[in-house]
Structure 1
Amino acid sequence: MKGPIQILVLGKEGVGKTALVVRFLTRRYLTEFAQLEEVTYERPVYVDDRQVTLRITDVSGKILERRSSSKEIFSKVDAVVVVYSITDRQSYDVAENIVDWLKRDRKSNPSLPVLVLGNKCDMDHLRVLSRSLNNFDSEYQGVVFLSTECSACEDSDGVVDAFHSLIRKVIEKREGSTKSQRKLSHVPLGSPKQIRATIKRRFSVFSRERTTL
Structure 2
Amino acid sequence: MGGRVDHEYSYLFKMVLIGDSGVGKSNILSRFTRNHFSLDSKSTIGVEFATKSCSYCLCSVCGILSVLECLMEGKTIKAQIWDTAGQERYRAITSAYYRGAVGALLVYDITKRQSFDNVHRWLRELRDHADSSIVIMMVGNKSDLTHLRAVSEDEGKALAEKEGLFFLETSAMEAVNVEEAFQTIITEVYGIVNRKALAAKEAAASAAPLPSQGKTINIDNTAGNTKRACCST
Band of TM-score, shorter chain: 0.7 to 0.9
Normalising by structure 1, report the TM-score. Answer: 0.78
Residue in 2 that maps onto 1:151: 171
- Find 2:186's aligned residue among 161, 167, 171: 167
Q: Give, as a single letter, the amino acid of the residue that structure 1 aligns with 2:53.
A: P
Contact 1:10 1:64 in 2 (8 A): no
- Find 1:55's aligned residue among 63, 80, 93: 80
Distance 2:166 2:90 in 1: 21
Distance 1:64 1:6 in 2: 20
Residue in 1 that maps onto 2:101: 77
Distance 2:139 2:149 in 1: 15
Distance 1:122 1:32 in 2: 17
Deviation of 1:133 after TM superposition, in Å, equals 1.5
Distance 1:184 1:7 in 2: 29
2:36 is paired with a residue whose SS is coil
Residue in 2 that maps onto 1:131: 153
- Find 2:91's aligned residue among 65, 68, 77: 65
Is 1:201 the equivalent of 2:224? no
Deviations, residues 62-84 of structure 1 (Å, cap 9, x unaligned): 2453247x5x6544110111111
**Cα distance change on mapping 1:52 and 1:148 into 2, 3 Å:** same
Superposition pairs of residues 21-36 of structure 1, within 5 angstroms: 21-33=29-41, 35-36=44-45
Deviations, residues 127-165 of structure 1 (Å, cap 9, x unaligned): 11122222424375xxx51011110001x2411111111
Q: Out of 25-34 and 11-20, give the one that drifted further.
A: 25-34
Distance 2:133 2:160 in 1: 14
Is 1:5 the equivalent of 2:13? yes
Q: Give, as a single letter, the amino acid of the residue that structure 2 aligns with 1:7.
A: M
1:136 is paired with a residue whose SS is helix
Distance 2:140 2:176 in 1: 15
Deviation of 1:41 after TM superposition, in Å, equals 0.9
Distance 2:126 2:47 in 1: 19
Contact 1:78 1:170 in 2 (8 A): yes
Contact 1:136 1:147 in 2 (8 A): no
Q: Where has structure 1 moved over 6 Å in runs of 4 or more? A: none
Distance 2:77 2:176 in 1: 19
1:31 is paired with a residue whose SS is coil
Higher Cα radius of gyration: 2
Distance 1:74 1:158 in 2: 24
1:97 is paired with a residue whose SS is helix
Distance 2:133 2:26 in 1: 25
Deviation of 1:36 after TM superposition, in Å, equals 2.7
Number of aligned residue pairs: 189
Percent sequence identity over matched residues? Answer: 21
Q: Select the structure that is richer in helix.
A: 1
Kindly report the root-mean-square deviation, in angstroms, between the aligned alpha carbons of the 2 structures: 2.5
Q: Give, as a single letter, the amino acid of the residue that structure 1 aligns with 2:161.
A: S
Q: Give, as a single letter, the amino acid of the residue that structure 2 aligns with 1:125.
A: H
Name structure 1 gaps, 5 residues minimum.
205-213
Name structure 2 gaps, 5 residues minimum.
5-10, 57-65, 69-74, 218-233
**Cα distance change on mapping 1:16 and 1:76 into 2, 3 Å:** same
Residue in 1 that maps onto 2:222: none
Superposition pairs of residues 106-145 of structure 1, within 5 angstroms: 109-134=131-156, 135-138=158-161, 144-145=164-165
Distance 1:93 1:67 in 2: 23
Normalising by structure 2, report the TM-score. Answer: 0.72
